[in-house]
Structure 1
């Protein structure tokens, strides 16, 4: 009993001491310890316990100066207006990729334009010169005569994954620079072979007229894609929402570099149709060979199973097509394949795909 009474006395004394210490800290600020004490801050400023609201403002502030408004004008003469020239303006966005004035946008934004005007976020206006375009990816490169321009943050090895939070920056409906938020719903390939919706980033960030060609960034402000379009199909009765597309950064960057160097995108061509081969052997099976193609000249036949191109073991037909598309025309590749279960190889000279 004496031990129990003693413990009770100690507990009471400690409790009174803690209460007294807290009271002194509150009433006499000079007694508070210097430095950041989370316990002291919590006791003396209980409102600081609230978490800061989630915000993407820092990411937007990094990227937004490099997102520009693009106005393309086309001058037409039609009998409807008595033969008088009429000007139509198309609205879009663009992304400054290099400080010397190279800007990526969508081809449909500047298609058949007689005049391109680029408006920076600081109010500066420049005439834009079309350097080149690529119809399969709907990308175009324009250049303005300026230097030291703000450049969008970029990472050469940027990869996106389904579920990543993304922000779309553009000028929808000419309302001024606007940010919409969503997630990546599905990812596509980054190669130069023939494109489709499956090769683009699919997302649910809102894309409207004027957003095309703008930046898709992650929560660090890094460019992950070039906004392209909303999903459309022939059945206009379906109310489709939350399906938009962007060209992945790596693919957009490859296209831009080729346009700057060549004025167009140069793709290699082999001349085959194929399907993935699902057995113990990884590769793809040849279903058709185009007449007078490099594949026919190299002796490739229907039924052959290609498992290696150059130094690259093949895992899918899409990977193989990207390798071929990104091979410089007139280059020679060694192709390894199985013919009736017998391993053979051939040399093929890749030619340029006709646009």
Structure 2
């Protein structure tokens, strides 16, 4: 009797389970998925399409990044004037398929011979087209055609927080890629960085080592956004120069392109010259008293002196525009051709004056 009761109870339980399962499958269709689909919900594996990777960007840009080897002969101060051979290592970026390459000036400075190793392993002799010390850029030319060119756009949209990739040949270990993000751009807060007068640097944390200078800085789509420079240094209050640790710099593409075009066309970069030294007018607490430039020194033979600008003048407007900072005037002057007339509004001993200055040409330093 007990056995029959147990069997009856078991059959009822199985029947109730089947009915409940049918109801659940009807009400929740997702439960009808195959075992394979259900297993994928719990799988810890990651498909190739889900990975965060920039290999497409690197694959696009890498063939246009070259290794640069230069040799110079210098007199050695420790060997009583005997000649010393100096070898330099760097990187470069092919900007035009007819053989024009942009690199850093310090990579090829005073070089007697320059060799360029292409991505495919070919080694070519290179000639210097021109160099620009203020931006530490140079242009080389190799006699070869149909070369791979890095992707370029007139105005790369580079923002703080963007991912960037630095491609170059650090320490002659072969082509290498490092990743970072853009931490800042422009010249704000850059007054202690050597060479920052004419360059709105891109600051980032993509690691650069010796040999990376002149290489490509690209965005996540493989578009060139800058030319890497691994040797920028800072100057402290005592004038001592030291390397920058943990912060790396690149010259923005737009500026590098302008310099390249000018070097190819003229063999040099032609900049206007004003002939003053100045600072922002501040009180004893360091607060800006008035927007403009306080003139601390005037080149006696320069255009500013000839126009009547004096030390202790405050320049408040340029071409009828308020002067926001020193860099605004630097850019206007540098980008103007020699012979251009620029007007300044000047505050001198509580008097407002207007002065027209005919720019000269800035000499190569």
- State whether TM-score is above 0.5: yes
2:295 maps to 1:291: no
Where does 1:149-298 land on structure 2 (aligned, <5 Å)? 149-158=147-156, 160-189=158-187, 195-196=195-196, 199-230=200-231, 232=233, 241-277=245-281, 282-298=291-307
Q: Give the whole-Å Cα distance in 2 for the aligned partners of 1:18 and 1:45.
A: 22
Q: Any conservation in 2 of the 1:188–1:248 contact (CA below 8 Å)?
A: no
Structure 1 window deviating more from structure 2 (180-189 vs 169-178): it is 180-189
2:327 maps to 1:318: yes
Cα offset, 1:286, TM superposition: 2.7
- Please name the residue that 2:34 is paired with: 26
Q: Any conservation in 1 of the 2:72–2:113 contact (CA below 8 Å)?
A: yes
- Please name the residue that 2:62 is paired with: 64
Q: Any conservation in 2 of the 1:42–1:49 contact (CA below 8 Å)?
A: no
Q: Give the whole-Å Cα distance in 1 for the aligned partners of 2:313 and 2:298.
A: 11
Counterpart among 300, 325, 333 of residue 309 in structure 2? 300
- Looking at CA atoms only, which structure, 1 or 2, has the larger radius of gyration? 2
- Please name the residue that 1:100 is paired with: 98
- Please name the residue that 2:125 is paired with: 127
Q: Give the whole-Å Cα distance in 2 for the aligned partners of 1:101 and 1:94.
A: 11
Q: Any conservation in 1 of the 2:234–2:243 contact (CA below 8 Å)?
A: no
Three-state SS of the structure 2 residue aligned to 1:128 is strand
Q: Give the whole-Å Cα distance in 2 for the aligned partners of 1:248 and 1:20.
A: 56
Q: Any conservation in 1 of the 2:320–2:344 contact (CA below 8 Å)?
A: no
Cα offset, 1:230, TM superposition: 4.2
Q: Give the whole-Å Cα distance in 2 for the aligned partners of 1:122 and 1:158.
A: 28
Cα offset, 1:246, TM superposition: 1.7
Cα offset, 1:134, TM superposition: 1.2
Cα offset, 1:64, TM superposition: 0.9
Cα offset, 1:240, TM superposition: 6.5
Three-state SS of the structure 1 residue aligned to 2:61 is helix
* Structure-2 change in CA distance of 1:98 and 1:308 (3 Å): farther
For residues 213-237 of structure 1, the C-alpha deviation after alignment (integer angstroms, 9 at most, x for no partner) is 111112221222111124556999x
For residues 53-76 of structure 1, the C-alpha deviation after alignment (integer angstroms, 9 at most, x for no partner) is 211111111211110111113357
Aligned length: 326
Cα offset, 1:300, TM superposition: 2.0
- Please name the residue that 1:332 is paired with: 341
* Structure-2 change in CA distance of 1:19 and 1:102 (3 Å): same
Q: Give the whole-Å Cα distance in 2 for the aligned partners of 1:72 and 1:211.
A: 14
Q: Give the whole-Å Cα distance in 2 for the aligned partners of 1:104 and 1:201.
A: 17
Q: Give the whole-Å Cα distance in 1 for the aligned partners of 2:243 and 2:103.
A: 27
Q: Give the whole-Å Cα distance in 1 for the aligned partners of 2:297 and 2:326.
A: 13
* Structure-2 change in CA distance of 1:65 and 1:266 (3 Å): same
Counterpart among 123, 136, 145 of residue 138 in structure 1? 136
Structure 1 window deviating more from structure 2 (305-314 vs 266-275): it is 305-314
For residues 180-199 of structure 1, the C-alpha deviation after alignment (integer angstroms, 9 at most, x for no partner) is 11223332349xxx932884
* Structure-2 change in CA distance of 1:14 and 1:118 (3 Å): same
- Please name the residue that 1:15 is paired with: 24
Gaps of 5+ in 2: 1-18, 189-193, 283-287
Cα offset, 1:128, TM superposition: 0.7
Q: Any conservation in 2 of the 1:42–1:48 contact (CA below 8 Å)?
A: no
Q: Give the whole-Å Cα distance in 1 for the aligned partners of 2:292 and 2:234.
A: 33
For residues 23-45 of structure 1, the C-alpha deviation after alignment (integer angstroms, 9 at most, x for no partner) is 3x538xxxxxxxxxxxxx96585
* Structure-2 change in CA distance of 1:254 and 1:234 (3 Å): closer
Q: Give the whole-Å Cα distance in 2 for the aligned partners of 1:49 and 1:202.
A: 36
Q: Any conservation in 2 of the 1:72–1:90 contact (CA below 8 Å)?
A: yes
Q: Give the whole-Å Cα distance in 2 for the aligned partners of 1:56 and 1:261.
A: 36
